[in-house]
Amino acid sequence: MVITEINLYHIEMSLLTPFSTSYGTVKDRALILIEVVDENGLSGWGEVVAFSTPWYTEETIETCTHILETFLIPSVLNQMLEHPSDLQKHFAPIKRNNMAKAGLDCAVWDLYAKRLQKPLWDVLGGTRSKVEAGVVVGIDQPHKMKEKIREHLHDGYKRFKIKIKPGMDYELIKVIREEFPELPLMADANSAYTLNDISLLKRLDDFNLMMIEQPLQSDDIIDHAILQKAIKTPICLDESIVSFDDARKAIELGSAKIINVKVGRVGGLTEAKRIHDYCVDKEIGLWVGGMLESGVSRAHNVALATLPQFHIPGDISASARYWNKDVIMPEVTVENGDITILNRPGIGYEVDVDYIRKIAKKIVAHKK
């Protein structure tokens, strides 16, 4: 296939409820939707999930725009690609900038599957016809967090993640556990602790959490290995894993028993699948993470989650959990805690281009 045109749609959507983590709060979500068009006029879609500020990783929407327009798009436009994994050699001279790469990678995977007239989940090697949905409750007053959990339980979600931070940890989880003793519960610290907090982190073993996500700093895989030896709760790494090699090293060191795979963080579906395949042999638990993203990226996440090692329900919730109106048709829905896979070519959901054009702050077309 030859990509003859690449369009960047800069959009902004307001979250229905602000989302708070140990780093801060997100309310208005800026995103870039990427459309790649082939020589036959067929389109594939991807999304840049970086935030406006570098709080989660070092990338931002602005750095991604720069890297895409100056390096990634020129390296791909009008090149012959046999398979989406051919992008890796075009990306190789450009270090990191994974969210910029992932946006393009996902668009090319969607296009590739559409050209084959096959669903993306099938082309990726998925084996499930539905995926289990989990949900995240941001940091808030404990009674409000419990209220949210009650609502989401009612909606059927199968795994509950709460955000924690110093001062909102032991007592918070305790009050939640008192009301929900059997809840499949986990906590995400977004790097808010250090090894100085080891006694507190040990005490969290009291709560039978499914896992604790990214308790220590992003690059602390050695410290995470020390912590994992000291606590019973399985450690799940998020921010620390930005590549296949990071996953390999963290597993080798014993820094985690579980990995949260985010397509954006690792640079696309090709790298995500490599991590997946490695973790099958190593018996590492896997789930698909979320980035408060639009339906385009949610659709890619659903496809990825059909791969066999994704046994744990991910941060893949219904569109309506985030947005008044999503950019795909139909929206992603959760029924009895499951998202049913659509058996249509590519991501399976239709992108609402009219709506995107209407809300876009800027549309930039690239062709030679």
Ligand X SMILES: O=C(O)CCC(=O)c1ccccc1C(=O)O
Q: Is 169 in the site for Mg ion (CB under 5 A)?
A: no
3-state secondary structure (DSSP) of residue 10: strand
229 with 205: CB under 8 angstroms? no
Of residues 248-267, which lie at the interface with ligand X (CB under 6 A)?
none
Q: Which residue type occupies 345?
A: P
Cβ 368 to Mg ion shortest distance, Å: 39
| Residue 93 CB neighbour total at 10 angstroms | 8
Helices (H) and strands (E) in the chain, counts: 14, 15
Binding partner of residue 162 among Mg ion, ligand X, none, CB under 5 to 8 Å per kind?
none
Nearer to Mg ion, 57 or 85 (CB): 57
Two tokens at 136? 């995240």
Q: Considering only CA atoms, which of 259, 326, 248, 258 is closest in space to residue 292? A: 326
| Contact mark string toward ligand X, 128..147, x via CB under 6 A | --------x-----------
Q: Do the annotations mark residue 245 as ligand-binding?
A: no
Mark residues 7-46: x for contact with ligand X by CB under 6 A, - for none: ----------------------------------------
User: Could you tell me the smallest distance in angstroms from the CB atom of residue 288 to ligand X?
Assistant: 10
The token duo for 275 is 């991590």
Question: In the stretch 308-337, what mask flags binding to ligand X with x, by CB under 6 A?
Answer: -------x-x--------------------
Which residues are paired to 48 by β-bridges?
32
Residue 27 among the catalytic residues: no
The whole-angstrom separation of Cα 296 and Cα 259 is: 23
Residue with Cβ nearer ligand X (214 or 270): 214
Residue 246 is labelled as binding a ligand: no
Residues 197-256 that bind Mg ion (CB under 5 A): 213, 238
**Secondary structure, 3-state, 86-109:** HHHHHHCCCCCCHHHHHHHHHHHH
Please check if 213 is assigned to a binding site. yes
Nearer residue to ligand X within complex by CB, 3 or 131: 131
Of 161, 165, 262, 273, the active-site residue reads: 262
By CB under 5 A, tell whether 188 contacts Mg ion: yes
Paired with 33 in beta bridges are: 9, 47
Contact present, 276 and 286 (Cβ < 8 Å): yes
* Residues marked as catalytic: 163, 262
Site of interaction with ligand X (CB under 6 A): 56, 136, 188, 190, 238, 289-292, 315, 317
